[in-house]
Structure 1
Amino acid sequence: MIYNPTAIKVPEAANYNRKIGGRQVELYYLKNNKGMQVVVSNFGAHLIGAWLPDRRGNLTSVILGFDNIEGLARQKSYYGSTVGRYANRIAKGKFTLEGQKYSLPINNGPNSLHGGVDNFSIKIWEAKQLDSSAVELELFSEHMDEGYPGNLTAKVKYTLTDDNELMISYEATTDKTTVVNLTNHAYFNLNGEGNGDILYHIVQINADKYTPIDKTLIPTGEIAAVKSTPLDFTQPERIGKRINADHPQIKMGFGYDHNYVLNPHGMHSPVAVVTGDLSGIKLQVYTDQPGMQFYSGNYMTGENTLRGGVKDKARTGFALETQHFPDSPNRPKFPSTVLKAGEVYKTTTIYKLSV
């Protein structure tokens, strides 16, 4: 593979600043003193991309994305999306809360995924650039929006520090008991966008356990050990080494598409570390969440044209979605995702990049 780190440029505002449904879409640029840049849009509170110098000083795009708003709005794979109200899957689009049964749109096999059809990732958020390093976005989701109870106000704040930390802070309030699980669905390629697949990236995940899935990718309810399985990343390992292993969990996920039960941790120790084999760029993930979905891009089909005319072929990006567990509203033994009136949902995830 020829390493071509300078091929993908920072998108121009003129290619994104359009009106969708009468609402204005805009880009917001964050920069730090290390030369790192992050771009955010108020369309879906998307993380459009991140660029930083590699070990040779070349500005490298490490998050997959699109050259224009048309490409972003057309795609259905949640590239860089803020997903909600409920990230990941809810079995059969149904759950019961305080004795009331709720039904959600079915948009992923027999299940509801990432908040349903008209989810947070395609809404126009209210945005305010706080300074050159931070932008805050807000969305109002009315009662029974996509089947979820309660008038919910959600906020997302992106902050880029001078230590190359992209801090994503989430907050939500409701006037009626509901369920909330927000995350970002960025696809990373630490060798640089357009530089092939991610199979030789080295991954380590601080999780001794995971939640096994059934054939529809819904947790079975079991919390199982990763030891002696292809899902064990407690020690650094290539993503691709066991991605096609003859193991029922790998077969059902067509690779990695599993929620890891994170070991006890604080915000000062990473829950995951990934290194690009060609670029030397390292990603460290910090979060206060109990789980993280590791997705190895198994369903990338090449149907989307990414920045620079690159196709999103299979496994050209990976996602590390910090979260509560999938289907938690139907699994009382899982950490709760219930938010009641008067409470405040708060969570923070940091993606730290270095060379």
Structure 2
Amino acid sequence: MSIIELINEKGLRVVVMSRGAILQSVHFPDRDGHVRDLTLGFDNLEGYLADRFFMGQTVGRVCNRIRNGRFELNGRFYQLDINREPNHLHGGGKGCGLRDWEVARRSDTSVTFRVIMKNDEDGYPGDAKIDCTYTLNDMNQLIIEYTGICTEDSVLNLTNHTYWNLDGDETINEHLLEIRADSYLPTDATKVPTGEILSVEGTKFDFRSAKKLGTLLESDGIGRVDNDYILSDVKHQRSVNILLASEKSGIMMEMLTNYPIAHVYAGEYVTSTMGKGGKIYKPNSGIAIECQGYTNAVNEPKFPSIRVEKGEVFSREIVYGFGHLNTSEISGFTQKLK
């Protein structure tokens, strides 16, 4: 296994691992110059090998849930393993995030991990060669690029499953979140989208203006969101789709993507587990914002397809930009980073 550190000249430092093409840590100074680690995770490989919550992993071939682990492609039905009853989740028990990737390319500010996913191992149609490239630039951006090519018509929907906490508090309840999304996908009792597309208007899911994640808390103190948000503008990859910020640390993270969906998950099922520095992670300890295609698109004809043709190059990008709040509040997508 390789552990690789990427550093730019502006104070951003990232550590990634070839195991699962994992984003292990992101280090960035807060408004007072104190460097903070902005991600949940573990201090050693043993922690990641025992991890049940996909922390920092590159997940796929198909991220999120496939209803009953079953779908049809070209007239043939495929049955995948069920690793979260009654569904298939994040590529299953032999998904990308549980594999050892090779280092295909490396420089001081970039690394490409590569994995070959075999049909006879994970059950998806054909074999797939998948690359995950992490790159830092001097605008304090971390760029994740996914490319893939399959030997047969198949499906691909890759994402990163990092849990973010921008100030080190026990919870992210005081974090501010803004998402450029007018609609979301409601789910059934097993967390699979029902097929409906609903407006966020008048719901707890409305984050079109920045508000605290604590607004998601229910009577038991758990923030329950595990849903796809349909991003309103993904035509221009350099438009900001998502903002996450901590007024305590002064750190703000903006996200850009050419994926149509941001899946937001506040860690409802994260049971007490020891993480970095002996911290105990629980629900609301961090927030995962997974840019991706539509969840369970393989079984919902009205959702945009995640199908890739034999030999077609799959290519997607997620960009995380880090900076500081100019004021004590976010003023929406016009807020500028220092």
Query: In the comparison of the two structures, how many residue pairs are matched?
Result: 323
Q: Which amino acid aligns with 1:148?
A: Y
The secondary structure found in structure 1 opposite 2:320 is: strand
- Which of the numbers 273, 276, 293 marks the counterpart of 1:324? 293
The secondary structure found in structure 2 opposite 1:353 is: strand
Which residue does the alignment assign to 1:264? 233
Residue 145 of structure 1: how far off its partner (Å): 3.0
Which residue does the alignment assign to 1:18? none
Which residue does the alignment assign to 1:348? 317
The secondary structure found in structure 2 opposite 1:240 is: helix
Q: Distance in 2 between matches of 1:52 and 1:254?
A: 26
Q: Distance in 1 between matches of 2:259 and 2:215?
A: 28
- Which of the numbers 77, 100, 107 marks the counterpart of 2:83? 107
Which residue does the alignment assign to 1:158? 134
Structure 2 segments unaligned to the other structure (5+ residues): 325-338
The runs of at least 4 aligned residues of structure 1 exceeding 6 Å deviation read none
Note the alpha carbon deviations across 1:219-262, whole angstroms, 9 max, x for none.
Answer: 1101110001110001111001233279xxxx9x9611100011
Note the alpha carbon deviations across 1:43-101, whole angstroms, 9 max, x for none.
Answer: 00000110011111111000111111001111110000000100000000000000000
The secondary structure found in structure 1 opposite 2:298 is: helix
Q: Determine if the alignment matches structure 1 residue 293 to structure 2 residue 269.
A: no
Which residue does the alignment assign to 2:302? 333
Note the alpha carbon deviations across 1:256-296, whole angstroms, 9 max, x for none.
Answer: 11000111232121111011131010010100001010111
The secondary structure found in structure 2 opposite 1:284 is: strand
Is the 2:294–2:303 contact (alpha carbons within 8 Å) kept by the matching residues of 1? yes
Residue 128 of structure 1: how far off its partner (Å): 4.0
Q: Determine if the alignment matches structure 1 residue 280 to structure 2 residue 250.
A: yes
Is the 1:67–1:307 contact (alpha carbons within 8 Å) kept by the matching residues of 2? yes
Structure 1 segments unaligned to the other structure (5+ residues): 1-24
Q: Distance in 2 between matches of 1:326 and 1:123?
A: 22
Q: Which amino acid aligns with 1:36?
A: L
Residue 175 of structure 1: how far off its partner (Å): 1.1
- Which of the numbers 210, 235, 244 marks the counterpart of 2:209? 235
Q: Determine if the alignment matches structure 1 residue 204 to structure 2 residue 178.
A: yes
Change (3 A) 1:178 1:245: farther
Q: Distance in 1 between matches of 2:261 and 2:185?
A: 10
Is the 1:54–1:279 contact (alpha carbons within 8 Å) kept by the matching residues of 2? yes
Higher strand share: 2
Q: Determine if the alignment matches structure 1 residue 97 to structure 2 residue 66.
A: no
TM-score, normalised to structure 2's length?
0.93
Q: Which amino acid aligns with 1:255?
A: R
